[in-house]
Copies of this chain bind each other. A is one copy, B any other.
Amino acid sequence: MRRIKCVIAYDGTHFAGYQIQQKKRTVQGELERALSTIHKGEFVRVYASGRTDATVHACGQVIHFDTPLAIPDERWPKALNALLPDDIIAKEASEVSPSFHARFSVKNKEYRYRVWTGEKNVFLRHYVYHYPHQLDVTNMNEALRYLIGTHDFTSFCSAKTEIDDKVRTIYEAEVIQEGEELIFRLVGNGFLYNMVRIIVGTVLEVGRGKRHAEEMKAILEQKNRDAAGKTAPGHGLYLWHVSYDN
């Protein structure tokens, strides 16, 4: 068997999320269906770097699967794209060592979150969070800096999470203004359930002057989801890039 690593992008608008669910349209479901066709009906399990929720997008999701087929690396995206729906695309593929695992080998992940502060725009409705408020970008960047480093992110994690260890390391956290759009960039060794969306929701409250940037420190210390702000909606979020050691 060969192990194939593949970078995929998807428009999350019409998916119930990445992970397979009964009777729902999911990214994993579409990938496994396409691979099953390539393998003449044989089921092929797909492993991803992590799940994404309904309406969340991906530019650089990474998956792996095992195959007995001797298809050259550059042929895999073509074979998959011929069978995938038009809201998923396989961007590149390469054979990797059998020790590679799309989820367990992750070194770090970059998420981006797009906020649109301008007038309502029909063409952006699925791709940015429409937040038509005046925002102080300097204060927002100050708030984000409190998150850089290794912290217990319980306060920035959905209370529904079953994972016990909520310590994660954030390497980069910033928000960039491009005209009427704000782009959040977060790079870390891992992100808890809803973590990016809760961070964005909280930092937007700082941007509007409803919270002080320094509050971020106290929020982290409280280890209580209720201390943080609202969860920003899924459709502004992009799994941007996943890095692995070599």
| A interface residue numbers (CB < 8 A to B) | 9-11, 57, 81, 86-89, 91, 119-123, 125, 127
Let me know if B11 and A87 touch, CB within 8 A: no
List of B residues within 8 angstroms of A9 by Cβ? 121-123
List of B residues within 8 angstroms of A123 by Cβ? 9, 11, 57, 127
Closest-CB distance, A78 to chain B (whole angstroms): 11
How many Å lie between the Cα of A81 and that of B122 in the bound state?
A: 11
Closest-CB distance, A36 to chain B (whole angstroms): 22
How many Å lie between the Cα of A73 and that of B11 in the bound state?
A: 37
Let me know if A86 and B10 touch, CB within 8 A: no
Let me know if B125 and A86 touch, CB within 8 A: yes
How many Å lie between the Cα of A120 and that of B89 in the bound state?
A: 8
Let me know if B11 and A89 touch, CB within 8 A: no
List of B residues within 8 angstroms of A88 by Cβ? 122
Chain B residue at minimum C-beta to C-beta distance from A125: B86
Let me know if A10 and B89 touch, CB within 8 A: no
How many Å lie between the Cα of A88 and that of B125 in the bound state?
A: 11
